[in-house]
Copies of this chain bind each other. A is one copy, B any other.
Amino acid sequence: MSGGDNLLKLVEAEEPDDNDYRLQEQVGFILRKAHQRHVSIFASQIGDLTPPQFAALAKLHDVGETSQNQLGTLIAMDAATVKGVIDRLKARGLVDLTKHEVDKRRLLVNLTPEGREAIERLIPLARAITQETLAPLTAKEAATFMRLLAKLA
């Protein structure tokens, strides 16, 4: 190796490979923090609904009546999680549940008028939440970020 002794020593000193694991630079750790920050921004703008609850209402507003299970698929929640979310929305009168006439396994979920009013009122706030979440990025960076994030999700 030509003239590399000093450089080699330096590199070895800085990169012992196993001792050098940096938690703060791992994608999972930063993803978790970014998600936490978003939830916090959401809560500051929409205090009385959680992001999953909002997602359920927004999707129902979008697609209309669906089964609980199907709704879960649309908003990326497993059956156990979606049940809890829908139960709480029902308790607040934002959705109602009816049995499917033909397929008796299914539970159909609908927005109530109150639920419809709520989601339509909240959607502008949700736009502001998206903007605030992306505020640390320029418009171009945000576009790039969204494109790459979508690939990961």
Task: Give A contacts to B, CB under 8 Å.
Answer: 1, 6, 9, 17-18, 21, 23, 25-39, 42, 51, 55, 58-59, 62, 64-65, 75-76, 98, 120, 123-124, 126-127, 129-130, 133-134, 136-137, 141, 144-146, 148-153
Partner of A148, one of B28, B42, B141, B153: B141
B32 lies within 8 A of A51 (CB): yes
B32 lies within 8 A of A35 (CB): yes
Chain B proximity of A75: nearest CB distance (Å): 7
B26 lies within 8 A of A130 (CB): yes
Partner of A27, one of B6, B120, B134: B134
Residues of B within 8 A of A51 (CB): 28-29, 32
Chain B CB count within 10 A is highest, among A9, A31, A42, A59, for A31
A144 lies within 8 A of B148 (CB): yes
Partner of A23, one of B25, B75, B129: B75
B152 lies within 8 A of A137 (CB): yes
A146 lies within 8 A of B98 (CB): no
Question: A23-B55, A62-B23, A152-B134 given as contacts; is B36 within 8 A of A34 (CB)?
Answer: no
Residues of B within 8 A of A141 (CB): 148, 151
Partner of A42, one of B28, B130, B145: B28
